[in-house]
Chains A and B, each alone.
Chain A
Amino acid sequence: MSGRIITSEEVRRLAWLSKIKISKNEERRYLEEMGEILEYFKMLDEVDTEGVEPTYHVIELVNVTREDVAQQTSSNSLLEIVPVMKGRYVKAPRII
């Protein structure tokens, strides 16, 4: 493949940004596959979109709000699905 769109370094950076640890082997595979996919995406370059507004959403909706009324949920059932707890607290990894 000539003139790669994406480099090994970029794949490593994307993995870091995405918070997904990848091995050397995976890095090679993703480099190959992502290069091919991005190459395909480049076909959009040939479309003239001068002055065209983007469509982020297909329906016109502005500031949909609802009454701010508390509803009952069971904190017990929510806590039952926490993988690691310490007492009544969710145990998180250290920050520094």
Chain B
Amino acid sequence: MFHMPGILELPASEIVRRVKLQEISVEEYIGECFERIRTVDPKIHAFLTLTEDDAMVRAREIDIRTRRGEKVGSLAGVAVAVKDNICTMGVRTTCASKMLERFVPTYDATVIERLKAQDAVIVGKTNMDEFAMGSSTEQSAFGPTINPYDLERVPGGSSGGSAASVASFEATVSLGSDTGGSARCPASFCGVVGLKPTYGLVSRYGLIAFANSLEQISPIGRRVADVATVMDCISGHDSRDSTSVKTGPTSLRSHLIEDVSGIRVGVPKELFGEGTDEVVSKSVWDALKRLEGLGATCEEVSLKSLKYALASYYIISMSEASSNLARYDGLRYGFRLEDEDWDWSEAFSRNRREGFGPEVKRRIMLGTYALSAGYYNQYYLKAQKVRTLIRQELSRVFKVFNILASPTMPILPFKLGEKLRDPLEMYMCDFDTVTANLAGIPAISIPCSTYRGLPIGIQFMAPPFREDLLIRVSYTLEKSLRLDLRPAV
């Protein structure tokens, strides 16, 4: 039976407000989070590591400071769950891989520094597909995460633990990462909000690389406002990430405005293709009609290059992965077999065989193929050229429309094991999300409906640095829909 102590349901900004007024003790609230985790996590396995001792110490510190009347940060006391590919000093960071099972970073990622500076409380590290390669969180070396809405189904991936922890009220907000949809997919499947920022807006320093030209750290929350709150804290230039854009932090909270009048929404029909479940299409169109009722205009548009986005994305991401993951040899850190008298090639090949799971190996090998002499032009270079065509077509369409809308996922959350045997079928799940990563544009997924208790997400995409539009439209739709989402745990 679903019963929730009220404090865990509060939005982040309300927790901060009450903490500052000393109406809530952070110690009590964080304690309740861990109580909730102990009740729920044995069923959904959202966490790989809990940081309870640390979290309780920080909670008490914040309480002491508020009692003394000292200033506290913009996320004072808020419980944050962090995907396990984001480095946390002194707390193991595994990427859900045997390769990094015992890896303890000696520094914090920039986003973690910024969260801590604003007095957020990190409650633990969340489960994911190994090295963020997957769309179901079944590829974790430590066992899958389960969808809190239906315990027979996947939570989506690769940030499945981050989405499931927030959906089931174990944490108030979380950080995921999004390389081809890895934050939006689980947000859609778990009935929460996930925002993939414009490339370069959030520092990747301390994010363990999978495909560095595509990925961004992405906030996840139960409400649009929570995602805006976290974005405003973690965004902005960082000199330690050479791809970080020279801009200050966002002020998305000031765009929590209920008004879509005059907003022109383009609806690419290529993203409602043959693989799209009718229930999903209908839910998305219902939401768009609602937006029209609120003053927006929605119009179907054809973007022919999007048909090629998935192939282009997988070639590029696998190529970058094969290069990024070359560093894992088991020497300075990571998984290493007992020493035999092997030469370096044999030793590295054996360490990597044992340390990596099947999907990671598949992608490294395919990436190696796409980059190898003789195939480079046909695959890698071709994919990068197609990427240019996609960007050009998008920049043309954004001259006519303010934002684009589509399903986040073409299908409903599927059953555990259903797509594990066919890698290509699993890749197809990312059909609607990869475009935003290829073009570096921001995209958000918010819940728009449910079908037989399963959440359905709608995706909006905007031109670079127009997160404000995504927040405004999503916030307006969220307020209008007033969905009553209740997980099964």
Contacts and interface: CB of A to CB of B under 8 A. Distances in A.
B349 A20 contact: yes
Nearest to A82: B332
Interface string A64-96: 101000000110011011111000001111111
Contact of A53 (B239, B372, B382, B385): B385
Nearest to A43: B311
Contacts of A56: 213, 384
Given A66-B239, A83-B331, 15 more contacts: A6-B369, A19-B352, A40-B311, A53-B388, A58-B213, A64-B242, A64-B243, A73-B107, A74-B106, A77-B106, A83-B333, A83-B334, A83-B336, A84-B336, A93-B343
Interface stretch (B128-136, B147-155, B358-366, B473-481): B358-366
A14 B369 contact: yes
Contacts of A15: 349, 365
Interface string B430-453: 000000001110000000000000
Given A57-B243, A84-B336, A37 B366 contact: yes
Q: Which applies to chain A's interface (DSSP): helix, strand, loop or mixed? A: loop
Interchain residue pairs A-B with the least CB separation, the first 8:
A58-B440, A54-B384, A93-B347, A83-B336, A49-B385, A64-B242, A21-B353, A21-B349
A50 to B, nearest CB: 9
Q: Which of A16, A33, A40, A47 has the most CB of B within 10 A?
A: A47
Given A6-B369, A18-B322, A55-B388, A94 B341 contact: yes
Contact of A47 (B308, B353, B369): B308
Nearest to B425: A36
A93 B349 contact: no
Given A34-B366, A55-B391, A41 B314 contact: yes
A34 B481 CA distance: 43
Interface in B357-395: 361-362, 364-366, 368-370, 372, 378-379, 381-389, 391
Contact of A33 (B107, B311, B362): B362
Interface of A: 6, 10-11, 14-22, 30, 33-34, 36-38, 40-41, 43-45, 47, 49, 52-59, 61, 64, 66, 73-74, 77-78, 80-84, 90-96
A40 B315 contact: no
Interface in B170-200: 199-200
Q: Which applies to chain B's interface (DSSP): helix, strand, loop or mixed? A: helix
B243 A20 contact: no
B349 A19 contact: yes
A55 B314 contact: no
B331 A41 contact: no
Contacts of A20: 349, 352-353, 356, 361, 364-365
Nearest to A67: B239
B479 to A, nearest CB: 32
A54 B315 contact: no
Contacts of B365: 11, 14-15, 18, 20, 30, 34
A82 B333 contact: yes
A94 B159 CA distance: 39
A30 B358 CA distance: 9
Contacts of B200: 58-59
A53 B423 CA distance: 30
A94 B365 CA distance: 25
Contacts of B388: 49, 52-55
A90 B346 CA distance: 18
Contacts of A44: 308, 311-312, 315, 379, 382-383, 386
B315 to A, nearest CB: 6
14 contacts: A14-B368, A18-B364, A18-B365, A18-B368, A20-B356, A21-B353, A41-B370, A45-B382, A49-B389, A55-B387, A56-B213, A66-B239, A84-B336, A92-B344
